[in-house]
A = this chain, B = another copy of it.
Amino acid sequence: MESISIGLLGLGTVGSGVVQIIEKHQDKLMHQVGCPVVVKKVLVKNLDKERAVKVDRNMLTANPDDILNDNDIDVVIEVMGGIEDTRDHLKKALNNGKHVVTANKDLMAVYGPELLSAASQNGCDLFYEASVAGGIPILRGLVDGLASDRITKMMGIVNGTTNFILTKMSKQGSAYEEVLKEAQDLGYAESDPTADVEGLDAARKMAILSTLGFSMNIDLDDVKVKGITEITEEDLQYGKQLGYTMKLIGIAHREGEKVEVSVQPTLLAESHPLASVQDEYNAVYVYGEAVGETMFYGPGAGSLPTATAVVSDLVGVMKNMRLGVNGKSAVTPQYEKKLKDADEIYAKYFLRLHVKDEVGTFANITSIFSDHHVSFEKILQLPLKEKGLAEIVLVTHQASLQDYEDILVNLRDLPAVQNIKSSYRVEGSARV
């Protein structure tokens, strides 16, 4: 090959990072793939906008077909975002025999299997390492490193914004709203933070991770999601007191042939490797039957880390081109999807209640748990300032989600229970 030509869809911060890295590491790329790597054309919305990176005006185009129909372009790198149009572009690129590298988790969480299948049919590579946890090579870790193992559990801190917010809340003892504003001012949270704080972003990444790790087509709709907007300082304080750290955790758990995939605020035992992941950092904890516990840690976002992951994928594509083996590395899901029912999902739970401080209240409450065969690991009861009320904080032993939800319904019906203040999943010791 004389050179490898790239078409870039999008020139925001990640796109600019990709251009910069390809320029800066040209020698290293040459050393690895044996020929120059050239960005030939770049799709942008506005041809005249000022850019963070110097790009020849003639390389810019507002028409995607200038890239998708250009026979000289070998690889399309997609960093424009969006779902429906972007899917059309990438299908066209693949049908025209171009390899694709994408950083687009929204797209891959929805159309991943369809696009991978199009890639495979056209003998093209479709790599998407940057779509999950930006700078962490977790997808390669799953595919290559654990190729001979059976992954039974993945737990991820896969959203930097929420981890930043929870770390700050925990360290400063500040309220959610206050820290969110701080995060927005610092650029760690967007002005509309919904996708992050409601857990949707994390859910997309867990759909991608579990599809790959369990070799099963997990859709976004299969992921149960709860965000962090209702977490209070009191919850964090009680958590600390009991030896837990609050994190937004994506959990993908396989037992036998059935899986559970969910995202929710979780009280994590402080001894767990994920508990020390702070600020905007991400980490994915993987449990394999043979290897045991492993964890991959790094920046989850940021233009340079994400761009690095994109260029790493590009190197993978180019090595395959040199070897003539493109389109063969996609791993097709091997198993039929089987989701656990609520009575098959087991976890420990933290529950905080306000109750009337009357004779028999405590007995009534605990008997609801024992009726469902759920016992306690920890119980605190404290008087409240408000007269005649008490606060009860408890952590259960393992309970099925079905039983736990039934217990919540029964508790709400109990006249002595004034308010269920909060309820979180608890993930236990580091040893799974």
Task: Tell whether A28 is near chain B: CB-to-CB under 8 Å.
Answer: yes
Instruction: Tell me, rounded to whole Å, the shortest Cβ–Cβ distance linking A151 to chain B.
Output: 11
Point out which of A148, A277, A304, A308 has the most chain B C-beta atoms below 10 A from its C-beta: A148
Q: Smallest distance from the beta carbon of A285 to chain B beta carbons, Å?
A: 8
Which residues from 273 to 323 on chain A have a C-beta closer than 8 Å to any C-beta of chain B? 273, 275-278, 281, 283, 288, 290-299, 302, 304-305, 307-309, 311-312, 314-316, 323
Interface stretch (choices A42-50, A84-92, A138-146, A236-244): A138-146
Partner of A292, one of B135, B271, B290, B293: B135
Contact A146 B312 (CB under 8 A): yes
CB distance from A26 to the nearest CB of B (A): 11
The 3 closest A-B pairs by CB, nearest first: A137-B145, A148-B311, A294-B298
Minimum CB–CB distance from A343 to chain B (whole Å) comes to 29
A298: nearest chain-B partner, CB-CB: B294
- A293, B288: Cβ atoms under 8 Å? no
Tell me the number of copies of this protein: 2
Chain A interface residues toward B at CB < 8 A: 17, 21, 25, 28-29, 31-32, 129, 135-137, 140-141, 144-150, 271, 273, 275-278, 281, 283, 288, 290-299, 302, 304-305, 307-309, 311-312, 314-316, 323, 325, 328, 331, 334
Interface pair A291/B296, CB less than 8 Å apart: no
| Other 12 A-B pairs with CB < 8 A, given A140-B145, A295-B295 | A29-B148, A32-B147, A137-B144, A137-B145, A137-B294, A141-B141, A141-B145, A147-B312, A147-B316, A291-B305, A292-B305, A295-B297
In the assembled complex, 29 residue pairs joining A and B whose CB atoms fall closer than 8 Å, in A order, are: A21-B149, A21-B290, A25-B148, A25-B150, A32-B147, A32-B331, A129-B145, A135-B292, A137-B146, A137-B294, A140-B145, A144-B144, A144-B316, A147-B311, A148-B311, A148-B314, A149-B312, A288-B308, A290-B304, A290-B307, A291-B298, A292-B299, A292-B302, A292-B305, A294-B296, A295-B296, A295-B297, A296-B296, A323-B325
Docked CA distance A21–B149 (Å): 8
CB distance from A32 to the nearest CB of B (A): 6
A294-B293 in contact (CB<8A): no
Q: Within 8 Å CB of A323, what residues of B?
A: 323, 325, 328
Chain B residues positioned under 8 Å from A273 (CB to CB) = 276-277, 297
Whether A136 contacts B294 by the Cβ 8 Å rule is yes
A29 to B150, CA, bound (A): 12
The residue in chain B whose Cβ has the minimal distance to the Cβ of A322 is B328
- Which partner residue on chain B sits nearest A296 by CB separation? B296
Closest residue of chain B to A149, judged by CB?
A: B308
Chain B residue at smallest Cβ distance from A430: B278
In angstroms, Cα B144 to Cα A314, docked, is 11
| Contacts A144-B144, A316-B144; A135 near B25 (Cβ below 8 A) | no
| A307 and B28 alpha carbons, distance in the complex (Å) | 33
Bound complex: CA A21 to CA B129 (Å) = 28
Write out the residue numbers on chain B whose beta carbons fall within 8 Å of the beta carbon of A275: 276
**A141–chain B nearest beta-carbon distance, Å:** 6
Contact call A298/B293, Cβ cutoff below 8 A? yes
Contact pick for A315, options B148, B276, B295, CB 8 Å: B148
A219 to chain B, nearest CB (A): 22
